[in-house]
């Protein structure tokens, strides 16, 4: 449904789109015969502006697809609400040294469609249930028809990346005599959210109105008796289903009892997320790391400590310079810097750090500077108020702890943050973060994670508990409110006795050794390894 290939193409909203791009970059690097189908959103990612009082505005990013994409000839049609809608297509190619993976962007904003139909591909995650259904008909049904029009007949695996794409099974059912088994044998599915409300569910009367005859007679057996659940539809017509981390696989099996759900832990594309200084260093010390990210694990201890520290300082000074253009409280190169940036939603607990301001002052006063970034949903006043409160906290704390909220979190800012900070903070409520990938980007750049044990960090912490710090107990049995109290207290304790202590009062070489271990983790948490696992478990037949 979204892909974030380029900061100037707002065809994504957040992590799901960033991940899709990284996976396809690795597919291109590895020469996998893959093609990607998505939608040419006129408006996806929105530009955030934060005013001095912390209130925000969100505006559409204007872009012209023809500046980035190549228009192709084919036009297919689908029936939506009983009327024919035409769907055109643009092509983008992800080029690697020897291979390239095409990405097809479906577009209803074309000649011959009514203004109403043109609007289907206007706003990513923008409309109501009916609009979402229309968009998913375009992605799934028109997606398969477009592949046929482009000459893709013999496809080994249709991989649904999240339930949004599940209607592709309806077109396959129609092509294959409505036999489930004929469809199951060529589909695979990845679910991305551990939260029940994150799965698309539509009332059947609405679905009947929008999707019409394409809904097969036995849709309730496939997609749920009471309502059309896209996750169930995808799962029941796939030969392989997975979640995106070990814990997410387990949660998904609990959420869908009786289903067979494996996991393939997410990763990042190393060549995309290493800052220039780290790229140069890696090129010299571990040549071939881009093609063989396992070298990051095998060779991370060969990185010369002084040069690693220096590379990090360069990235840090770039970030500090950027921050200082956006705040009148100057940040310093020599102060321990903690950054935390992600989409603002309650489960990520962006205010955990501010649970006890006196304690925060006592622990961090004069010794820590804090950078926040992250967009709220334009229609979500609660999350916008969270940002506003953090901006207020920054004012309250200004005499002891420097805090800044940077506006407009996007991949460019993300790269500057994950390479330029010293510590990457992540505080999700346990069992709510499917995987998370920004912490991996930090590791790759020698930035140490301080994170609650959730998503990928559980696995990373199992592999190497010395590569960063955990927040909160190992136990898994508490309720969210108990966890919030314990985690907040533990966050201060970790900062005081571990992070700050190591940074200022222990030998620098100990910190640098942790940086190497963090880089080593990306020998595993990269999308080349994901693609290998997908090939082995999901895409072979
Ligand atoms: C990596 C990235 C994300 C996803 O990070 P999470 O750890 O899943 O929050 C979201 N947005 C941008 C711009 C990113 O670069």
CB of 455 shorter than 6 A to ligand 1: no
438 C-beta closer than 6 A to ligand 1: yes
Q: What are phi and psi of 333, to 5 degrees?
A: -60, -30
From the CA of 415, give the closest atom in ligand 1.
15
Q: How far is the CA of 444 from the centre of ligand 1 (A)?
A: 14
The pick from 7, 8, 13, 15 for probing ligand 1's pocket by mutation, whose C-beta has the most ligand atoms within 8 angstroms, reads: 15
Residue 198 is predicted with a pLDDT of 86
pLDDT of residue 476: 65
- Of 453, 447, 397, nearest to 429 (Cα)? 453
pLDDT for the residue 481: 78
Same domain (yes/no): 263, 324: no
Q: What distance in angstroms lies between residue 2's CA and the mean position of ligand 1's atoms?
A: 13
Q: Same domain, yes or no, for 316 and 183?
A: no
* 225 shares a domain with 95: no
> Is the distance from the beta carbon of residue 436 to the nearest atom of ligand 1 less than 6 Å?
yes
Residue nearest to atom 3 of ligand 1 (CA): 15
Relative to the CA of 437, which ligand 1 atom is closest? 7
Q: Is there a single domain that holds both residue 141 and residue 183?
A: no
Final residue of a structural domain among 93, 128, 154:
154
> Do 112 and 16 sit in the same domain of this protein?
yes
CB-based contact 360:396 (threshold 8 Å): no
Counting as low any pLDDT under 50, the low residues of the chain are none
Shortest-distance Cα residue to atom 15 of ligand 1: 411
Say whether both 124 and 193 belong to one domain. Answer: no
List, in sequence order, every residue forming a beta bridge with 405; answer none if it has no partner. Answer: 372
Residues spanned by the domain of 209: 156-267+527-541
The answer, as to whether pTM is greater than 0.85, is yes
pLDDT of residue 483: 81
What confidence score (pLDDT) does residue 477 get? 63
Q: Are 214 and 142 within one domain?
A: no
Domain count of the fold of the chain = 3
Task: Mark which of 154, 184, 210 sits at the end of a domain.
Answer: 154
Cα 440 to ligand 1 centre (Å): 10
Specify the pLDDT at position 98. 86
Q: Are residues 249 and 283 in the same domain?
A: no
Residue nearest to atom 4 of ligand 1 (CA): 15
Tokens of 145: 């028809």
DSSP secondary structure of 81-149 = TTEEEEEEEEEEEEE-SS-EEEEEEEE--STTS-HHHHGGGTBTT-S-HHHHHHHHHIIIIIHHHHHHH
Q: Domain check: are 519 and 409 in the same one? A: yes
CA 138 to ligand 1 center in whole angstroms? 26
Residues 309 and 434 in one domain: yes
The reply to whether ligand 1 has any atom less than 6 angstroms from the CB of 442 is no
CA of 504 to the centre of ligand 1 (A): 29
Query: How high is the pLDDT of residue 442?
Result: 98
The CATH number covering residue 444 comes to: 3.40.50.2000
Q: Do residues 24 and 94 both lie within one domain? A: yes
């Amino acid at each position: 449904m979204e892909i974030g290939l380029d900061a100037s193409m707002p065809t994504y909203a957040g992590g799901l789109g960033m991940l899709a791009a990284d996976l396809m970059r690795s597919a291109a690097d590895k020469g996998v015969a893959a093609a990607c189908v998505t939608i040419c959103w006129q408006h996806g990612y929105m530009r955030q502006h934060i005013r001095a009082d912390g209130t925000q505005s969100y505006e559409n990013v204007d872009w012209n697809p023809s500046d980035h994409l190549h228009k192709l000839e084919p036009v297919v049609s689908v029936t939506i609400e009983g009327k024919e809608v035409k769907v055109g297509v643009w092509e983008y190619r992800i080029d690697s040294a020897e291979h390239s993976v095409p990405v097809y962007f479906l577009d209803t904003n074309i000649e011959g469609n009514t203004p109403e139909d043109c609007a289907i591909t206007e706003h990513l995650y923008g409309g109501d249930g009916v609009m979402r259904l229309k968009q998913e008909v375009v992605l799934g049904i028109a997606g398969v028809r477009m592949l046929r029009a482009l000459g893709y007949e013999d496809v080994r695996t249709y991989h649904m990346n999240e339930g949004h794409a599940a209607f592709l099974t309806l077109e396959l059912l129609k092509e294959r005599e409505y036999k489930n088994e004929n469809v199951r044998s060529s589909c695979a599915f990845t679910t991305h959210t551990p939260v029940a409300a994150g799965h698309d569910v539509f009332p059947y009367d609405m679905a009947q109105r929008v999707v019409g005859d394409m809904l097969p007679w036995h849709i309730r057996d496939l997609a749920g008796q009471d309502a059309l659940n896209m996750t169930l539809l995808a799962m029941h017509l796939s030969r392989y289903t997975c979640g995106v981390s070990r814990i997410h696989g387990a949660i998904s099996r609990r959420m869908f009892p009786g289903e067979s759900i494996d996991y393939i832990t997410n990763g990042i594309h190393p060549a995309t997320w290493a800052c220039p200084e780290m790229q140069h260093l890696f090129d010299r010390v571990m040549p071939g790391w881009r093609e063989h990210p396992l070298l990051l694990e095998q060779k991370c201890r060969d990185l010369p400590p002084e040069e690693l520290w220096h590379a990090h300082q360069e990235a840090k000074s770039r970030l500090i310079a950027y921050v200082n253009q956006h705040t009148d409280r100057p940040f310093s190169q020599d102060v321990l810097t903690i950054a935390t940036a992600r989409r603002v939603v309650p489960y990520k607990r962006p205010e955990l750090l501010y649970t006890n301001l006196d304690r925060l002052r006592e622990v961090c006063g004069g010794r820590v500077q804090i950078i926040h970034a992250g967009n709220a949903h334009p229609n979500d006043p609660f999350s916008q108020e969270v940002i506003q409160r953090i901006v207020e906290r920054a004012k309250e704390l200004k005499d002891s702890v420097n805090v800044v909220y940077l506006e407009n979190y996007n991949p460019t800012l993300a790269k500057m943050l994950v390479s330029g900070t010293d510590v990457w903070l992540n505080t999700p409520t346990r069992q709510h973060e499917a995987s998370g990938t920004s912490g991996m980007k930090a590791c790759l750049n020698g930035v140490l994670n301080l994170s609650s044990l959730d998503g990928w960090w559980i696995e990373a912490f199992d592999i190497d508990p010395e590569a960063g710090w955990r927040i909160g107990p190992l136990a898994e049995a508490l309720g969210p409110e108990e966890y919030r109290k314990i985690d907040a207290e533990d966050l201060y304790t970790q900062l005081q006795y571990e992070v700050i202590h190591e940074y200022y009062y222990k030998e620098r070489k100990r910190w640098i050794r942790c940086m190497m271990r963090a880089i080593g983790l990306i020998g595993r948490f990269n999308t080349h390894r994901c693609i290998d696992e997908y090939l082995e478990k999901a895409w072979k037949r």
